[in-house]
Amino acid sequence: MDFSFPKEYQLFRRMVHEFAESEARPLTKEIDEQDRVPFETLEKAAKLGLMGVPFPQKYGGCGAGEMGYCILMEELNKVCPSTAVVVGAHTGIGAMAIYMDGTEEQKEKYLKPLAKGEKIGAYVLTEADAGSDAAAIKTRAVRDGNYYILNGTKTFNTNGGHADILSVMAVTDPSLGARGGITAFIVEKEFPGFRIGREENKMGIRGSQTAEVILEDCRVPKENVLGQFGAGFITFMKTLDIGRLSLGAGCLGGADACLEASIQWAKTRQQFGVPIAHKQSIQWMIADMATEIEALRSLVYRTAWLVDTGQPFTKEAAMCKVYGSEVLHRCIDKALQIHGGTGYSRDFWIERGFRDQRITEIFEGTSEIQRIVIASNLFRPEGVRISA
Amino acid sequence: MDFALNEEQRMFQKMFRDFVTNEIAPLAEEIDQEEKLPRELLPKAAMQGFLGALLPEEFEGVALDAISYCLLLEELARACASTAMTISVHNGLVSKTILDNGTDEQKSKYLEPMAFGEKIGSFALTEPAAGSDVTALETRASQDGGEDYVLNGCKTWASNGQIADIFLVFAVTDPEAGAKGISAFIVEKDTPGFKVGYREPTLGLRGLTCNTLYLDDCRVPVENLLGQEGEGLKIALKALDFSRLSLSAICLGGAQAALEAGVQFAVEREQFGGPIALKQAIQNFIADTAAEIEALRYLVYHTAWLSDTGEPYTRDASIAKLIGSEVAMRAANKMLQVHGGFGYMKEYAIERMYRDFRALRIVEGTSEIQRFVIARDILKEKGLAIKP
């Protein structure tokens, strides 16, 4: 066994860290307050190859695999979860779906510009009545000659309002449901019948945009079917599996930032005549944070190793997501508590971090869904199939 | 034993609920967005007697017992925690403190306009370097020629700062005497040398204003000394005892509102072919929250009853505040989770509750300080004195 990071990944981490500090950090407050996607940061990220980190170089990516992508998400989330969410939705699920199941032609046409950051990607699944129950989607795709005609409304789409290339799931045979009745499509925003609906007003990650995507007789060429016809549900679930790992990595970065800020504050804040770091209540909170963070770090990078070495990782990725998001919840909460009233003020980043954190327990599969994934993977070898 | 509310208390409860449902609940979203209470809200509350809730009839108050007062705050908090906090500070921290400690002249001058809502009260204890450690106050008050005290210093996070006319300001009159060198002053808004400064932007409770106050050679007449010189800390701590009880009632109402919102959503939201209320994961959230709320409810009423019967209740108030704020936060967190993505959107009240309730674990003594108060009181019985 060897728990050390290879040299090239250490150098990669340093590069990403410097990028996050110099380019993302100065905008964090502004993009939160103005509900603004930091396009200028995305352009700079593209120049460094950070918009396609996990993909092979032949598709325009960095070739850094899941380990590299986890490092990216960890470092970005230390500084700006909004920026990380925009990059993550683009890379980790939007482009990832095409990387996982696209044809060579599709990868050439769509993955390459996405990986280079010339185009922005999105992953379009959720509908008003299909949240955790993703198979309940109603958006229909009906064949018409060389096209499929898509009709339906998709909600809560990260990057939905500004993405160029969207991976969209629609029902092709209602009688078959999730097993054979759902197909994935690659949709360009210029396709006729594609429209952006309302934008959500969110508690946090306000520097990322969450928009409705409306498909009204949207014409999609038949060669834009992504993966096997009727196997779209599998494509999307596989994509979410791998996405969960990087969300866990993001939580790890966020939690680390909480710990670092708490230590600095506890060292300098004086109450009762001494720095509050001398108080047991504060020491215990910091000790608990650090302990959980170390456990999470091991879980995340072990799972990245499973992915990069081609081993099964579904259960472990779900654990990264549920444990990571809940560790981050506890860490930002403790950090806010250690900062007292200052932590509650919008003049300091902890307040934003508290709002930003809460979505990590919901998006890309709620904690409840993660637990179902974990439990079903534990029960399946025992011959017991559990469903949601 | 008798756990039932008496007839008068039940009547009050119904009256409070009707008023809050009709007059305050419809405004809660606007209060959060606009970050202030609508102009007409406090006058309306005053007409109901809410702004003289704890004052006797001779000062135009309605002289509620502590249990009825808790019922009032509970109902207010069910609709809008900002409004509940504003009214609680005005009554419990300011007018009641003047009633308990004031001279006849002070009472006749200040209490009637406070009961009518013509004058709003603010409590100014905290300073930049004196949060949990209230004895670290740096604001100085020195006597000048026997007619005035001259106050110099800076107060932070004075609740109701923006809207108040009467400020209870705590300042050091004898630096040699430590905790016994602090005195309380009634400071009117238009006193020369007094200035209401920076309004703190906050995560939640955005309708409650918290301001920095500047005292720059502020001349306060000697007749505005509240209690005796050196009694300031005693006065503040007694006020905080009652205020912690009040806050626990706000926590109770808030937690109840979160539960009701979660139950409503779970019944209406369909996933996997039926309402999510039929799912065990959701039922567990609801059951756990309901159980904690019931435990909290009788803890709050018991503490109020102790106050009504003249028993000491310092430890009980700290316990109620500690558990209350933690229960309210867990309730908002779990019920947000029940709402899934919708809970993260500003259209749903649970989004606001999650931000609002986070303050409850900090204001008027953090959870850590409550734990200290509880531990100190328990250990004192064993003959052991502990310090923070």
CB contact under 8 A, A133 and B272: yes
Q: Packing angle between helix B280-308 and helix B232-268, nearest 10 degrees?
A: 150
Q: Does B26 share its domain with B127? A: no
pTM: 0.86
* CA–CA separation, B116 and B56 (whole Å): 13
> Quick check: do A122-229 and A234-382 share a fold?
no
Residue from the list A202, A279, A388 with its beta carbon closest to the beta carbon of B344: A202
Range A313-335 average pLDDT = 95
Q: Which chain A residues are closer than 8 Å to B129 by Cβ? A: 270-271
Going by CATH, does the domain composed of A122-229 fall within 2.40.110.10? yes
Tokens of B108: 């006749």
* CA–CA separation, B352 and B29 (whole Å): 8
From A285's Cα to the closest Cα of chain B, the distance in A is: 11
What interface predicted TM-score (ipTM) does this complex get? 0.75
Please, what's the largest Cα pairwise distance for chain A? 79
Q: Which helix (H) or strand (E) holds B315?
A: helix B314-339
**Residue A306: band (very low, low, confident or very high) from pLDDT cuts 50, 70, 90:** very high
* Interface test with chain A among B159, B368, B386, by most A beta carbons within 10 Å: B368
Q: Packing angle between helix B232-268 and helix B349-358, nearest 10 degrees?
A: 150
**Residue A384: band (very low, low, confident or very high) from pLDDT cuts 50, 70, 90:** confident
* CA–CA separation, A17 and A5 (whole Å): 16
Confidence at residue B135, expressed as pLDDT on a 0 to 100 scale: 87
Range A143-161 average pLDDT = 97
Confidence at residue B295, expressed as pLDDT on a 0 to 100 scale: 87
Question: Beta strand A147-158 with A140-144: parallel, antiparallel or unpaired?
Answer: antiparallel
Confidence at residue A1, expressed as pLDDT on a 0 to 100 scale: 77
Cα–Cα separations (whole angstroms), residue A82 to A383, B137, B312: 42, 39, 50
Question: Tell me, what CATH number does B273's domain have?
Answer: 1.20.140.10
From B158's Cα to the closest Cα of chain A, the distance in A is: 12
Residue whose tokens read 């926590």: B251
Quick check: B178 contacting A, CB < 8 Å? Answer: no
Q: Does B295 share its domain with B210? A: no
Given B120, B145, B169, the domain boundary residue is B120
Residue from the list A201, A279, A368 with its beta carbon closest to the beta carbon of B281: A368
* CA–CA separation, A59 and A346 (whole Å): 42
Specify burial of residue B384 (Cβ count, 10 A radius: 0-12, 13-18, 19+).
Answer: exposed
How many Cβ pairs closer than 8 A exist between chain A and B? 113
Q: Which of B127, B229, B326, B364 is catalytic?
A: B364
Confidence at residue B280, expressed as pLDDT on a 0 to 100 scale: 86
Q: Does B247 share its domain with B211? A: no
Q: Which chain B residues are closer than 8 Å to A354 by Cβ? A: 203, 358
Cα end-to-end distance, chain A, whole Å: 37
* CA–CA separation, A338 and A318 (whole Å): 30
Q: Does B219 share its domain with B333? A: no
Residue whose tokens read 């900002």: B82
Neighbours of A203 (CB within 10 A): 23
Question: Tell me, what CATH number does B92's domain have?
Answer: 1.10.540.10
Cα–Cα separations (whole angstroms), residue A237 to A103, A134, A361, B383: 18, 10, 18, 62
Residue from the list A270, A341, A362 with its beta carbon closest to the beta carbon of B341: A362
Confidence at residue A343, expressed as pLDDT on a 0 to 100 scale: 96
pLDDT at A356 over 90: yes
Task: Give the tens place of pLDDT for each residue, B141-168.
Answer: 999 878 999 999 999 999 999 999 999 9
From A148's Cα to the closest Cα of chain B, the distance in A is: 27
Q: How many domains does chain B have?
A: 3
Q: Which chain A residues are closer than 8 Å to B336 by Cβ? A: 358
Q: Where are the beta strands (DSSP E) in chain A?
A: 121-124, 140-144, 147-158, 165-171, 182-188, 194-199, 210-221, 225-226, 270-271, 274-275
Q: Does B241 share its domain with B370? A: yes
CB contact under 8 A, B362 and A340: yes
Given B172, B202, B232, the domain boundary residue is B232
Question: Tell me, what CATH number does B167's domain have?
Answer: 2.40.110.10
Q: Does B48 share its domain with B184? A: no
CB contact under 8 A, B271 and A136: yes
Q: Which chain B residues are closer than 8 Å to A366 by Cβ? A: 337, 340
Query: Domain limits at B341?
Result: 234-381
Portion of chain A with pLDDT greater than 70, in percent:
99
CB contact under 8 A, A271 and B136: yes
Residue from the list B156, B347, B361 with its beta carbon closest to the beta carbon of A337: B361
Confidence at residue A381, expressed as pLDDT on a 0 to 100 scale: 86
**Residue A280: band (very low, low, confident or very high) from pLDDT cuts 50, 70, 90:** confident
CA B380 to chain centre: 27
Identity of residue A106: Q
Quick check: A341 contacting B, CB < 8 Å? Answer: yes
* CA–CA separation, A89 and B67 (whole Å): 51
Q: Does B97 share its domain with B183? A: no
Q: Is residue B388 part of a domain?
A: no
Q: Does B369 share its domain with B240? A: yes
Given B100, B120, B140, the domain boundary residue is B120
Q: Which chain B residues are closer than 8 Å to A347 by Cβ? A: 200-201
- Spans of chain B, pLDDT less than 70: none
CB contact under 8 A, B354 and A126: no
Q: Which chain A residues are closer than 8 Å to B387 by Cβ? A: 272
Q: Does B253 share its domain with B377? A: yes
* Interface test with chain A among B133, B155, B203, B280, by most A beta carbons within 10 Å: B203
In CATH, the architecture of A234-382 is Up-down Bundle (1.20)
Residues B93, B101, B125, B210, Cα dihedral to 10°:
30
**Residue A374: band (very low, low, confident or very high) from pLDDT cuts 50, 70, 90:** confident
Q: Is residue B386 part of a domain?
A: no
Tokens of A148: 């499929």
Residue A236 in contact with residue A66, Cβ under 8 Å? no
CB contact under 8 A, B345 and A355: no
Confidence at residue A194, expressed as pLDDT on a 0 to 100 scale: 98
Quick check: A81 contacting B, CB < 8 Å? Answer: no
From B14's Cα to the closest Cα of chain A, the distance in A is: 33
Quick check: B126 contacting A, CB < 8 Å? Answer: yes
- Coil, strand, or helix at residue A138? coil
Q: Does B320 share its domain with B294? A: yes
Q: Which helix (H) or strand (E) holds B32?
A: helix B28-34
Q: Is residue B309 part of a domain?
A: yes
Quick check: A361 contacting B, CB < 8 Å? Answer: yes
**Residue A379: band (very low, low, confident or very high) from pLDDT cuts 50, 70, 90:** confident
* CA–CA separation, B356 and B329 (whole Å): 9
Contacting residues for B154 by C-beta, under 8 A, at least 6 apart: B127, B128, B138, B139, B212, B213, B214, B215
Task: Give the tens place of pLDDT for each residue, B231-267.
Answer: 999 999 999 999 999 999 999 999 999 999 999 999 9
Q: Does B329 share its domain with B316? A: yes
Instruction: Indicate which residues of A carry an active-site annotation.
Output: 364
Q: Which chain A residues are closer than 8 Å to B131 by Cβ? A: 271, 340-341
Quick check: A386 contacting B, CB < 8 Å? Answer: no
User: Nearest Cα to B303, choosing from B288, B287, B322?
Assistant: B322
Q: Which residue of A has its CA nearest to B359?
A: A344
Q: Where are the beta strands (DSSP E) in A200-331?
A: 210-221, 225-226, 270-271, 274-275
Neighbours of B282 (CB within 10 A): 23
Interface of B with A in 127-166 (CB under 8 A): 129-133, 136, 156-157
Q: Is residue B128 part of a domain?
A: yes
SS3 content of chain B, % helix, strand, coil (to 5): 60, 15, 25
Interface of B with A in 302-341 (CB under 8 A): 333, 336-337, 340-341
Q: Does B377 share its domain with B241? A: yes
Q: Which helix (H) or strand (E) holds B335?
A: helix B314-339
Where do the structural domains in chain A lie, given as residue ranges? 7-120, 122-229, 234-382
Q: Which chain B residues are closer than 8 Å to A367 by Cβ? A: 337
Going by CATH, does the domain composed of A7-120 fall within 1.10.540.10? yes
Confidence at residue B324, expressed as pLDDT on a 0 to 100 scale: 96
* Interface test with chain B among A156, A203, A364, by most B beta carbons within 10 Å: A203
Tell me whether residue B364 is one of the annotated catalytic residues.
Answer: yes
Quick check: B347 contacting A, CB < 8 Å? Answer: yes
Neighbours of B284 (CB within 10 A): 12
